[in-house]
Amino acid sequence: MQQSDPFWASPVDHLAKVRPDVPTFYACPAVLQSVAREFIDGFDGLVTYAVKANADPLVLANLSAAGVTAFDVASPYEIDLVRANCPHAALHYHNPVRSRSEIAAGVAAGVASWSVDCDVELSKLLDILPPHSEIAVRFKMSVSGAAYDFGEKFGAPADMAVHLLRRVAAAGHRASMTFHPGTQCADPVAWVSYILGAADIAQRAGVHIQRLNVGGGFPAWRNGQRPALGAIFEAIKSTAKAAFPYRVDLVCEPGRAMVAEAFSLAVQVKSRRAGALYLNDGTYGALAELPVVRGFDRVHVVAPDGTPKTGPTTTFAAFGPTCDSLDRLSDRLTLPCSTAEEDYLIFDGFGAYSVVTATRFNGYGASDAVLVQNL
Ligand SMILES: *Cc1c(COP(=O)(O)O)cnc(C)c1O
């Protein structure tokens, strides 16, 4: 993402004057910082940011300016990115599968916390980590409420988690626990179940855990509204207090909910044929995750001069710019009938899993970033 310097008033202000013909992200630092403060003020513990949701330096710098002091990273590349932009931040390396060389890179960078979900990965960590490192055992339960479930890929079942916790403690490291309830999880009960599960596992293991990381998964826009995070924060706090007979420090690592609202994406209609639009971005670009997680209820159309398109709507098939036949949105878009070549489609709530997933397949996928005062 290339970034413009001056602030524009709004996406439409920029579109109408510049008429960009590459996909353009509109980033609002004020929104980034206010959401970060909502987490810091509302969550009863340490707020870390999961860098994979949007690794743009602009995001890291604004979250840091708002008071985020720790970042969840998944690779040496993300470690370097955070170090370059926020040199004093704490790093939590919570991708539970790492090569030995990746572990060594994390140690060299001073990673403060590691996660683990199986014996072989723990053995690697025990071989390489310095004494008294924090190792958080990641466990999984079957809990519903998320858009898709992370437990399919990572997380130890309860019995294995008991065993891993004992191994961590026996090796003299600091034992913690972590889980991820699944992304776009709007139901506080998912966190309640997981926290009760964590307390049960720790008790069975006979291990006093130091910290409990309640993951990401906090919801961004869902079913036509921005879910309130307060009920989730409250449920986490009161459940953790009641479930553990001793004090456990809480940590969270939101990705999506931290950045989604701070960006809108404008894509241009390159061509219109009967019932189909050919866009300048698609599933190999920033629209990759659109069919999986997002609703299609947050797109609006403006003419090249910035005038909103209104009036009766119809549905369009939507194709991306590459010559690949898979480059097509899975759902049809409902847009004004008058949508035409050179119009812009503006997708709101587009800061998470968009900039970071774009590829340069077929020569497309480059985008500009423009700073705006308001979205
Ligand atoms: C992806 C990820 C997150 C962030 O998840 P969101 O659903 O975007 O909040 C947090 N922690 C870990 C370990 C992750 O892999």
Q: Where are the domains of the chain?
A: 2-27+260-372, 30-259
**Residue 25 in contact with residue 50, Cβ under 8 Å?**
no
pLDDT at res. 142: 81
* For the CA of 184, the nearest atom of ligand 1: 7
Q: Which CATH superfamily is domain 30-259 in?
A: Alanine racemase (3.20.20.10)
264-321 pLDDT per residue, tens? 999 999 999 989 999 999 999 999 887 666 566 789 999 999 999 999 999 999 999 9
Which residue CA neighbors atom 5 of ligand 1 most closely? 216
C-alpha 372/C-alpha 375 separation (Å) is 7
Measured CA distances, 299 to 219, 224, 227, 339, 357 (Å): 19, 12, 19, 12, 20
Superfamily designation of domain 2-27+260-372: Lyase, Ornithine Decarboxylase; Chain A, domain 1 (2.40.37.10)
Task: Decide: 185 in ligand 1 pocket, CB within 6 A.
Answer: no
How many Å apart are CA 331 and CA 317, to the nearest integer?
7
Taking a C-beta distance cutoff of 8 angstroms, is the pair 279, 24 a contact? no
Which DSSP helix (H) or strand (E) runs through 101?
helix 100-108
Ligand 1 touching residue 320 (CB < 6 A): no
Distance CA 189, CA 200 (A): 16
The whole-number pLDDT of residue 144 equals 67
pLDDT at 365: 87
Count CB atoms within 10 A of the CB of residue 222.
Answer: 15
What pLDDT digit, counting tens, does each position of 95-107 carry? Answer: 999 999 999 999 9
Q: Provide the pLDDT for residue 5.
A: 64
Report the alpha-carbon distance of residue 123 to residue 118 in Å, rounded.
9
Provide the CB-side half-sphere exposure for 183 (13 A, CA): 20
pLDDT at 4: 61
Instruction: Give the torsion through C-alpha atoms of 289, 293, 295, 301, to 10 deg.
Output: -10
pLDDT digits (tens, 9 = 90+) for 234-264: 999 999 999 999 999 999 999 999 999 999 9
0.85 cut: is pTM over it?
yes
Sign, CA torsion 327/52/348/216:
positive
Ligand 1 atom nearest the C-alpha of 95 is 13
Distance 236 CA to ligand 1 centre (A): 17
Tell me if 183 CB under 6 Å of ligand 1. yes
Q: At a CB cut-off of 8 Å and minimum separation 6, what does 41 contact?
A: none
Contact 265, 350 (CB under 8 A): yes
Q: Give residue 153's pLDDT.
A: 74
CB atoms closer than 10 angstroms to residue 328: 15
Question: What residue ranges of the chain have pLDDT lower than 70?
Answer: 1-5, 144-152, 291-296
Tell me how far the alpha carbon of residue 106 is from its chain's centroid: 21
**Which amino acid, residue 6?**
P
- Pocket test of ligand 1: the residue of 121, 150, 261 to mutate, having most ligand atoms within 8 Å of its CB, is 150
- Closest residue by CA, ligand 1 atom 3: 216
For ligand 1, is residue 52 a contact (CB within 6 Å)? yes
254 CB less than 6 Å from ligand 1? Answer: yes
